[in-house]
Structure 1
Amino acid sequence: MEFIQPLFLWGIGAVVIPVVIHFWHQKRGKTLAWAATRWLQEKNQQQQRGIKLDNLLLLILRCLVIILLALLLSQPILTGLTKPVVVEKIHLVQPEQLVVDNYRFELEEAIKKGEAVYWINTATEAIKDPAQLPDQRTFNPNVLQSAINTASAKPSELHLYVLNNQQLANAPFIRVPAQFKLHTMVDSASRPVRPYLKLPGSGNVFVNASNQLVNSTALSKGIRFQDVQAHSGRLTALVDFRDKTEQQTVLAALNALSDVYALGIQIDVKKNQKTGYDWVLTDQDVIAPVPKTLYVVSGKLKIPRVPNVIFWEEKLTPQTAERVRTGQLPEQLGELLIRHFNLKPNSFPLSQEQLNTLFITTEERRAQQPENIRNWLLLVFVGLIGLERWMALRQNA
């Protein structure tokens, strides 16, 4: 037997309390003289020697109640009764030729051993020959999460083979089983063409070779940029919140972002029908989103149906959002801006720290058997409490 909280077993020592109370109530009182005592026989006047235990069954019940309480708090697990969990190895592979070529030996060995090997696509197809890529090659974080959920429905050791690029970061996090191993590779041969923003009076906004957002009058040398800028003209934003505190918080964060990078964002708090907004931040539902507009909706937990509508579960106030309390809101808004205009191409790899933050392991559920044991102990504990109270009231002890 094992215990999750073994320190509570020290509580068993509290059984001395009912024993002490029991003897305390049975200590001998003072002898009172009574005239009729002279007629009693001498043998009945002799003092009894030793310890007399009255209500012994009641004492045992009270000791058992304390022992059971200590056992319940220590959360026992009978490991001998639980069956060992069979953990299956599962391999999920991104349908990319570079990934397959790089990990061909590992995948072929897994198939020979009879381990489950699947493509990461909407169908989660089983792989028979890694050399034959599937017809369906759609890959994004949603497809990846769906494939992980499908493949790891049972306890499994998951091996994930993917390209390390910014496409993975399009999701806030990806949940994986507790036993998880990530195999990534970087496409070093590709040299992406970077987009940039052309803003009036402030120059060019782009991501430089150090992977930082900058505003400069001249584009960096040694970096290939698109011939046509991703956006030309002034950036416009609509900040429309019912909650005035949230409205002020988002306005302050957006102004801070605009000042740091000299973006010169035009911010409206009331919608102008003649203005085509690049950015809409609100706590209200978006009915008909404009494809080229980035929407950030706070206080709503929903799965986005279109990539330009982003939902944040918490309300953006210091009392409800960690990103506001820590001052990270302007930085995160800047990341959304970079992602919306694709200023950081997908081929850029994520750092190890970013990968560790992106993939969140989920704890496996404990077996039901320990829970059942604790439930039975709880029933016995309640029964003993009821029996002890009934006997105590009946015997006035």
Structure 2
Amino acid sequence: MEFLQPLFLWGIGAVVIPVVIHFWHQKRGKTLAWAATRWLQEKNQQQQRGIKLDNILLLILRCLVVILLALLLSQPILTGLTKPVVVGKIHLVQPEKMVVDNYRFELAEAIKKGEAVYWIDAATEATDDPMQLPDQRLFNPDVLQSSINAVSAKPSELHLYVLNNQQLADVPFIRVPAKFKLHTMVDSASRPLRPYLELPGSGNVYVNASNQLVNSSGLSKGIRFQDAPAHSGRLTALVDFNDKTERQTVLAALNALSDVYALGIQIDVQKRLKTGYDWVLTDREVVAPAPQTLYVVSGKLNAPRVPNVVYREEKLTPKTAELVRTGQLPEWLGELLIRHFNLKPNPFPLSQEQLNTLFVSTEERRAQQPENIRNWLLLVFVGLIGLERWMALRQNA
């Protein structure tokens, strides 16, 4: 038997409390002389020595109540009654040649042992030849989370092989199983040219050396930029929600983002014909997404199939989304915009502390047997309480 909270077992020592109370109530009082005492005939009584135990069954019940309470608080688990769970190893690999080449020995050994190897992509495809990269190589934190969810249905030890860069931190956290090991590598040779936006009235919008979104009339001389802007012209956005509250919330967040960074976003609440939007925020399912448009879909939880469609499970209202309640919605939308235009191709790796904070381990639920044991103990505990009260009232003890 194991205990999840073994410190509460010290509570069994409290069993001395009902014993002390029991004998205290049986303590003989002092003899008080009264006027007629001398007229009573003194009886020869045998002297009793030692401690006399009365209501012994009631005392036992009270001791059992204390012991059961300590056991319940310690959360016992009968490990001998459950079969050990067979845990297999599953390997999730980012479909990048650099990652595969760096961990080719580990992946080859895993395949020889019959362990499952999957690509981190929209379909989470299995592979028996990691050196043969898939045609679709879509990777972002949303795709990573979707692949983890797809392979974590059964108890397993998950191994992740990914590039360590700032792209991983585009989401607040990534949930992984309790048995989890992260294998990362840094692409130190990659120093891509940084994109920028050319907006009328705002100048050039880009991410500076401090990883901050700024706009200025000219480009920073300390950063190497691409020859042409990733986008030129005014940014247009369509806010299309059935829920009035959600529409107003998203409108306020977009306006705040546009004002802070002087983006000058043109926002429509009704779709205009022959208008190609750069940004569409909606609660409707996207059927045929335009490749150059960023879509944010709320109230739906789907696996991302294309990188420019972002799904959000909760509706974007103060009552349903913590992101809105904490005032982080404009910042989150700004991160999506930066990621969509790839304004921050930052190759610098995350620190170990950042990785530990990013990957959140979810404890696996134990079998139902521990809960059943506690339920039975709770039932017995309640029954003993009722029996003890009934006997105490009946015997006036």
TM-score by length of 2: 0.76
* Alignment match, 2:61: 61
**What is the RMSD computed on CA atoms of the aligned residues?**
4.2
* Alignment match, 1:205: 205
CA contact under 8 A between 1:166 and 1:349: conserved in structure 2?
A: yes
Alpha carbons of 1:209 and 1:364: their partners in 2 closer, same or farther (altered >3 Å)? same
Unaligned runs of 5+ in 2: none
* Within-5 A mapping of 1:193-232: 194-220=194-220, 223-225=224-226, 227=228, 229-232=230-233
The whole-number CA distance in structure 1 between the counterparts of 2:154 and 2:237 is 49
The whole-number CA distance in structure 2 between the counterparts of 1:295 and 1:348 is 25
* Within-5 A mapping of 1:246-325: 247=248, 251=252, 253-266=253-266, 271=270, 273=272, 278-279=278-279, 285-286=283-284, 291=290, 294=294, 296=296, 300=299, 302-303=301-302, 307-311=308-312, 313=314, 315=316, 317=318, 323=323
Structure 1 position 62, deviation (Å): 0.9
* Alignment match, 1:124: 125
* Alignment match, 1:394: 394
The whole-number CA distance in structure 1 between the counterparts of 2:320 and 2:257 is 21
Please state whether the residue corresponding to 1:215 is helix, strand or coil.
strand
Structure 1 position 361, deviation (Å): 1.6
The whole-number CA distance in structure 1 between the counterparts of 2:370 and 2:80 is 11
* Alignment match, 1:51: 51
The whole-number CA distance in structure 2 between the counterparts of 1:185 and 1:146 is 21
Structure 1 position 14, deviation (Å): 3.0
Please state whether the residue corresponding to 1:95 is helix, strand or coil.
coil
**What is the aligned-residue identity percentage?**
72
Structure 1 position 61, deviation (Å): 0.9
How many pairs were matched up?
Answer: 387
The whole-number CA distance in structure 2 between the counterparts of 1:248 and 1:91 is 41
- What letter matches 1:313 in structure 2? E
Alpha carbons of 1:188 and 1:363: their partners in 2 closer, same or farther (altered >3 Å)? same
Unaligned runs of 5+ in 1: none
- What letter matches 2:244 in structure 1? R
Structure 1 position 63, deviation (Å): 1.2
* Alignment match, 1:9: 9
The whole-number CA distance in structure 1 between the counterparts of 2:39 and 2:165 is 105
* Within-5 A mapping of 1:118-157: 118-121=118-121, 122=123, 124-127=125-128, 129-134=129-134, 139-141=139-141, 143-157=143-157
Structure 1 position 197, deviation (Å): 2.0
Please state whether the residue corresponding to 2:365 is helix, strand or coil.
coil
Structure 1 position 340, deviation (Å): 3.1
* Alignment match, 2:106: 106
TM-score by length of 1: 0.76
Alpha carbons of 1:187 and 1:48: their partners in 2 closer, same or farther (altered >3 Å)? closer
- What letter matches 1:286 in structure 2? R
Please state whether the residue corresponding to 2:183 is helix, strand or coil.
strand
CA contact under 8 A between 2:160 and 2:183: conserved in structure 1?
A: yes
Q: Does 1:336 align with 2:336?
A: yes
The whole-number CA distance in structure 2 between the counterparts of 1:118 and 1:285 is 31
* Alignment match, 2:88: 88
The whole-number CA distance in structure 2 between the counterparts of 1:64 and 1:392 is 15
How far does the alpha carbon of each residue in 1:50-108 deviate from its partner, in whole angstroms, 9 at most, with x for none?
43222111111111111111221122345566665554333222333322222122222
Please state whether the residue corresponding to 1:43 is helix, strand or coil.
coil
The whole-number CA distance in structure 1 between the counterparts of 2:132 and 2:250 is 52
CA contact under 8 A between 1:8 and 1:74: conserved in structure 2?
A: yes
